Structure 1
Amino acid sequence: MNTSTRVLVVLLVLACAAGCANIPESTPPRFVTELPQVASRVVDNPSPGLNPYGLVGEFVTKTGSSDAARAYLTPEADAVWSGTSDRVIIEDKPKTLPQSVPEGDRVNEQVVILTGRQIGRLDPRQAFFASVQPVEFQFKVARQADGQWRISEAPDFALITESAFVASYRRVNLVFFDPGEKVLVPDLRFMAAEPRDNLERRVVELLLKGPSDGLKGAVVSPLDGVVLRTNVVTDSDGAIKINFASVEKTTEERGKMAVQVVTTLSEVTTSPIRLLSDDRALVATKQDWRASDITPYENLTTSKPDLLGLAVTGGRLVSLRDGKPIDGPAGSGAYDVVTAAQSLDGSALAVVQRTGSGVRLRVGKVDGDLPEVGLSQTATLTRPTWLLSPGEGIAPNEVWTVQDGTVVTRVVRTVEGTWVGFPVDATELTRDGPITQLRLSRDGVRVAAVVNGQVRVASVVRANDAVAIRSPLTLQAGVVKQVVGLDWLDRQTLIAVTEQPSLPVASLPIDGFSLTQFNSANLTLPVTAVTAAPSRSTLVMDSLGLWSTQEANKVWLTHQHGQPPGSIPFYPG
């Protein structure tokens, strides 16, 4: 800061102090302090002596940010290159090729074509969108006065190889609330890992901007409309100080603001979070927060420990606790059950019954008669999937299924206690083919589906009485295919089973960035069904029977209450 700037700052401070003399104490001045000086990202220059192809190759392998990328540009290109829009992530080891028909002065100017396979993009809000496809980009390079080559024209976004991206970014789970503000919903983002000393500030600023495009309309934020009074800084005692401006919300709303901020920041810091509004405690009874102070908001999404799962075997339901048929007509074989689902709280059951003219849906108490739901005649119904209960101690009142692969239907309990079907607008999801599997996430905000043999994830948007599936995203397109079974491991991860001999079981994060292959050494293909849940063993059915595992790299163990091939195991949900 030069002398004239310092004088100007002093004058402004004095002016503000004089002006504040007439401001009532109840309305203190709002301001944002000057940003603290933070450590800049260390940017390496290009390796000396690179030829045009080596320069472009290094550009995408060593530039995890726009700042790093600029070191590879000519001064003229740097002046016009924004590099602030989407960042495109490509697989490692892309190829650099000469232009098929060379142009211009080959001694001092060359055109390099970079080809590879895109795996996705990172948007300006730091959300990853999977998009697997071959790509080709053109670069122009020019020899500089010192003899070094630099890029004179490049695509107007940062190109990053997968390894460079993993080394330069870290995943952060922002959290929002479901529309009923009963449970927390993860919103996966990727933040630049450096500089580390302002990571908390960047995360809070991103949280204040709201959900990613894929979750807009599906979640709510208690922070909506809230702004910072001062910058997020580390206080002298090590606490992360977050000072909001004039928060005009109820005590309950302020508490939910604290839940949202502290839960999000718990992944990036172990320091206490000091939450203020106009320099006073945001929540009157507490100023400094840790993750252990937060109510987890998980009761509605967590099944009781004694609910060990069920299985459809020979047209009836059996318990995976003891391998015996459950009580009631669903366990006696009265319904010729094709597939079924148990509510998260364990109290309700939805079964698909085989009939002479197709299939029917029946819903009711788990050990009682299951009344038929009056749906139109249909040849197939996907395995039902339950929405979480609307509140603790309240019976579940909504279950979904798909009729004939195209009509997504939510079946809702009326005030009279009957069940009625309503259509869900799923045009964005079904445009690429029929749905063979559909699973609601345990928070009810997302759906995972198998469409045309591929895994798709989308958001559930509720507006008054209308419900729509929006913003579907295909995960690991062309890699995970021929999918025959799907379930939620947790709110951030899916488990899929496929007919691919090389990839029978795999887990995927909901943004599709990566893929974890399960050990399949002792499975006998094909694998036909899967069920998963938090803190439970993952179960699969292969051509010999029922298997379980706790981790992807462990061998599968035979289930103590094994079921015959063709059975369908399922946990509540």
Structure 2
Amino acid sequence: MSAQLVAGAGSGRPRLIRTAVAAIGVALLAGCASIPVSGAVHEGDTVEAGEDLGFDFRPQGPEAGDTPSEILSGFIAAGAGPQDNYATARDFLTRDLAKEWNPAAGVLVHGRATSTLADSPTSLSLVVPATGTVDGTGRYDEFADAVQIELPFRFVQENGEWRISQAPNGTVLARAIFDRLFSMRSLYFYDPTFTYLVPDLRWFPSTADAPTRVVEALLAGPTAPLASPVLATAFPDGTSLERQSVTPTNGQAIVELNDEVVQADAVTKQRMQYQLARSLVGGSILSVRISVDGTDLEIPDFANGRAPVVQPLVNPSALVLRDGTFGFLSGGELTPLEGFSDAVAGLDPTSVVFSADQELAAVHGGNAAAYAVARGENPVAVDARPGLVAPDLDGQGYLWTVPADAPQALTATRPGGSPLPIAANWTDASGVVSLAVSRDSTRLLALLTTPDGPRLRVYGIVRDKSAAPTQLSSTWYELIPPTGVPAGATWVSDTTVASLGRAADGSAAVVAQDVGGHRLDTVGDIDDAVALSGGNGLSGLRALTADGDVRVLRGAAWQTTASQVGLLAAQR
């Protein structure tokens, strides 16, 4: 007994009424209390994909005489219809289960055919080759390889018709349907100093209540790896939506909050307003107002230059070492970096991270030690432990260093200061390939080696009251690692990272991915690449080849912009 996820499955009657194009096989339920990421795998009947759907899915309810297989097939299809709180999907459930089933608990996303198993005449299991999950807060995690997950369903007869009496909460959608039904949103929270707004990517159904979901998620706080004290919110404890609807009117969204916000000082109100506006503005929403008891709060805009920084930018020119000179390349001409060029070049560096704001560089010298170089000053040795990976630099002036074969020996050190041990929750790591701190200094991108292969992760950075880093978050974003031998990873923007892997024949592959989103398909492979450096978005991503060419991503192809370069530096 099998359930087909296509129009006409089971009884041959159409299971999807389409209002745009035509039907495709879709959706199913994800985990119970939580979406599972493992489980027994069995062979079953393949479910074929159908035609592409448009943007509005109108599933059809159960029909008289439907078998359990047909009920499951219809229920699967109905998971693509969020209208009226998934009213059509609930029609396939018993009266009791229809009241309890929670479609908002999460989403299981799959890209290949599912299969079914008949456990008994009144129970079926669906095996889903999951490629990703979305949890109840909208956080998305994508898998490098499909994970086979088995979902159980039980059936009983109610008023002479088969209905589902047991089913997991949530929905499961084919990737093509998920991309049409859901959209990615950046929820913004502050770094602990309220200097930066930091994005927390979430996925929500593209329905009329999406703004309400965004505000509710924003008030609930950052996702686990970024939760306090990594990031902060301007909203006082206990703040909630007073009216459970955020509906734009003439381009303006009025957010009705409870009176917790009234007692906040003027700066806090500005921060709340800014946090809401950055998270909500887009599409039909052009501006945001906060209201309490039906009265709009009068909140002035930030004065010029005082607004928090969103998406910190760097010099768009490549920063390189060529022929003993360290500086910026522009139109093929190399301009020495005043106060740094001679000192950096004199260290015979293998890597450099430069901060224009701090006038400071972190240098991996030819003798494998880590140095701090300030403008016009002699280099200061910060870490001379053997086997260090390339050091990185954060916004507080700390150099992050770790020996490649000692992952638990991670430290952060200011020039002239003592090293601070950083507690890192990567107990499965056998080695470290590269480290990169985000430009807002709240997250660490780590490319690790483990007995089970390379791992690419983003951790939140926990700091004390003096802004000194003390540990990494206990949970993390598990990203898709590079293929082949891992060579390095870099921040492309405040939401996107890229990693480099090299095959034995010298060919290299670059993988770009949103932190909390999809792997991006816009990055082409590049032969002989040995290093990556992020700029201002994907168009600023650069690669250095083994023969000294600097290449820039243009569309999905790499173009050479400079030659005879010995080192490609990173900027923060």
TM-score normalised by structure 1 residue count: 0.75
User: Any conservation in 1 of the 2:246–2:253 contact (CA below 8 Å)?
Assistant: yes
1:23-43 per-position Cα deviation (integer Å, ceiling 9, x unaligned):
xxxxxxxxxxxxxxxxxx975
SS across alignment from 1:485: strand
Q: CA, structure 1 residues 310+121, in 2 after alignment: closer, same or farther (shift >3 Å)?
A: same
SS across alignment from 1:549: strand
Q: 1:532 corresponds to which residue?
A: 534
User: Any conservation in 1 of the 2:435–2:446 contact (CA below 8 Å)?
Assistant: yes
1:475 counterpart letter in structure 2: L
2:394 counterpart letter in structure 1: L
1:533 counterpart letter in structure 2: G
Q: CA, structure 1 residues 551+267, in 2 after alignment: closer, same or farther (shift >3 Å)?
A: farther
SS across alignment from 2:529: coil
Matches of 1:204 and 1:325, distance apart in 2: 48
Q: 1:399 corresponds to which residue?
A: 399
1:126 counterpart letter in structure 2: G
1:472 counterpart letter in structure 2: W
> Is 1:204 equivalent to 2:210 in the alignment?
no
Q: 2:94 corresponds to which residue?
A: 75
Q: 1:380 corresponds to which residue?
A: 387
Q: 2:369 corresponds to which residue?
A: 360
Per the TM alignment, residue 293 of structure 1 is displaced from its structure 2 partner at its CA by: 9.9
Per the TM alignment, residue 242 of structure 1 is displaced from its structure 2 partner at its CA by: 2.1
Matches of 2:169 and 2:387, distance apart in 1: 48
Q: CA, structure 1 residues 235+513, in 2 after alignment: closer, same or farther (shift >3 Å)?
A: closer
User: Any conservation in 1 of the 2:114–2:129 contact (CA below 8 Å)?
Assistant: no
Per the TM alignment, residue 204 of structure 1 is displaced from its structure 2 partner at its CA by: 1.7
Alignment of 1:531-550 (within 5 A): 531-534=533-536, 537-550=540-553
User: Any conservation in 2 of the 1:489–1:532 contact (CA below 8 Å)?
Assistant: yes
Matches of 1:315 and 1:419, distance apart in 2: 30
Matches of 2:397 and 2:194, distance apart in 1: 17
* Seq. identity, %: 18
User: Any conservation in 2 of the 1:61–1:164 contact (CA below 8 Å)?
Assistant: no
Q: CA, structure 1 residues 220+164, in 2 after alignment: closer, same or farther (shift >3 Å)?
A: same
Q: 1:309 corresponds to which residue?
A: 318
Matches of 1:461 and 1:122, distance apart in 2: 25
Q: 1:408 corresponds to which residue?
A: 410
Q: 2:521 corresponds to which residue?
A: 516
SS across alignment from 1:494: strand
Matches of 1:300 and 1:94, distance apart in 2: 39
Alignment of 1:167-186 (within 5 A): 167-186=180-199
Q: 2:355 corresponds to which residue?
A: 343
Matches of 2:251 and 2:335, distance apart in 1: 57
Matches of 2:122 and 2:508, distance apart in 1: 43
Q: CA, structure 1 residues 51+284, in 2 after alignment: closer, same or farther (shift >3 Å)?
A: closer
Q: 1:252 corresponds to which residue?
A: 267
2:401 counterpart letter in structure 1: T
1:329-360 per-position Cα deviation (integer Å, ceiling 9, x unaligned):
756743222222111427211111233xxx21
1:121-147 per-position Cα deviation (integer Å, ceiling 9, x unaligned):
222222223455522324346486899
> Is 1:126 equivalent to 2:131 in the alignment?
no
Matches of 1:59 and 1:344, distance apart in 2: 57
Matches of 2:299 and 2:455, distance apart in 1: 50
User: Any conservation in 2 of the 1:454–1:483 contact (CA below 8 Å)?
Assistant: no
Q: CA, structure 1 residues 119+224, in 2 after alignment: closer, same or farther (shift >3 Å)?
A: farther
The structure with the largest alpha-carbon Rg is: 1
Per the TM alignment, residue 150 of structure 1 is displaced from its structure 2 partner at its CA by: 4.7
1:469-521 per-position Cα deviation (integer Å, ceiling 9, x unaligned):
112222136x756331211111000111212589711210001433324123x
SS across alignment from 1:220: coil
Matches of 1:293 and 1:152, distance apart in 2: 59
User: Any conservation in 1 of the 2:352–2:570 contact (CA below 8 Å)?
Assistant: no
SS across alignment from 1:320: strand
Matches of 1:318 and 1:236, distance apart in 2: 51
Q: 2:430 corresponds to which residue?
A: 433
Q: 1:269 corresponds to which residue?
A: 284
> Is 1:298 equivalent to 2:309 in the alignment?
yes
Unaligned runs of 5+ in 1: 1-40, 104-108, 389-395
> Is 1:192 equivalent to 2:205 in the alignment?
yes
Matching residue within 482, 495, 498 for 2:498: 495
Q: CA, structure 1 residues 483+401, in 2 after alignment: closer, same or farther (shift >3 Å)?
A: same
Q: CA, structure 1 residues 508+457, in 2 after alignment: closer, same or farther (shift >3 Å)?
A: same
Matches of 1:314 and 1:248, distance apart in 2: 61
User: Any conservation in 2 of the 1:386–1:400 contact (CA below 8 Å)?
Assistant: yes
Matches of 2:310 and 2:217, distance apart in 1: 28
Q: 1:468 corresponds to which residue?
A: 471
Matches of 2:536 and 2:109, distance apart in 1: 32
Matches of 1:227 and 1:145, distance apart in 2: 40
> Is 1:162 equivalent to 2:175 in the alignment?
yes
Greater percentage in strand: 2
Per the TM alignment, residue 162 of structure 1 is displaced from its structure 2 partner at its CA by: 2.1
Per the TM alignment, residue 161 of structure 1 is displaced from its structure 2 partner at its CA by: 2.6
1:571 counterpart letter in structure 2: A
Per the TM alignment, residue 110 of structure 1 is displaced from its structure 2 partner at its CA by: 4.9
1:381-411 per-position Cα deviation (integer Å, ceiling 9, x unaligned):
22222222xxxxxxx5222222234122111
Matches of 1:484 and 1:256, distance apart in 2: 40
> Is 1:449 equivalent to 2:465 in the alignment?
no
Matches of 1:294 and 1:60, distance apart in 2: 52
1:473 counterpart letter in structure 2: Y
Task: Between 451-460 and 121-130, report the one with greater CA deviation.
Answer: 121-130
Q: CA RMSD in A?
A: 3.5
User: Any conservation in 2 of the 1:130–1:473 contact (CA below 8 Å)?
Assistant: no
SS across alignment from 1:490: coil
Q: CA, structure 1 residues 301+234, in 2 after alignment: closer, same or farther (shift >3 Å)?
A: closer
Matches of 1:511 and 1:487, distance apart in 2: 16
2:446 counterpart letter in structure 1: A
Per the TM alignment, residue 76 of structure 1 is displaced from its structure 2 partner at its CA by: 5.2
User: Any conservation in 1 of the 2:483–2:509 contact (CA below 8 Å)?
Assistant: no
SS across alignment from 1:208: helix
SS across alignment from 2:447: strand
Q: 2:152 corresponds to which residue?
A: 139
SS across alignment from 2:387: coil
1:186-238 per-position Cα deviation (integer Å, ceiling 9, x unaligned):
011111112x2x33223222211111122112111111323344454558755
2:240 counterpart letter in structure 1: V
Matches of 1:158 and 1:235, distance apart in 2: 28
Q: CA, structure 1 residues 85+44, in 2 after alignment: closer, same or farther (shift >3 Å)?
A: closer
Matches of 2:484 and 2:458, distance apart in 1: 14
Matches of 1:238 and 1:511, distance apart in 2: 28
Q: 1:458 corresponds to which residue?
A: 459
> Is 1:113 equivalent to 2:125 in the alignment?
yes
Matches of 1:515 and 1:78, distance apart in 2: 39
2:288 counterpart letter in structure 1: I
Matches of 2:73 and 2:157, distance apart in 1: 18
1:458 counterpart letter in structure 2: Y
Q: CA, structure 1 residues 115+412, in 2 after alignment: closer, same or farther (shift >3 Å)?
A: same
SS across alignment from 2:213: helix
Q: CA, structure 1 residues 279+56, in 2 after alignment: closer, same or farther (shift >3 Å)?
A: closer
Matches of 2:157 and 2:423, distance apart in 1: 57
Matches of 1:68 and 1:534, distance apart in 2: 44
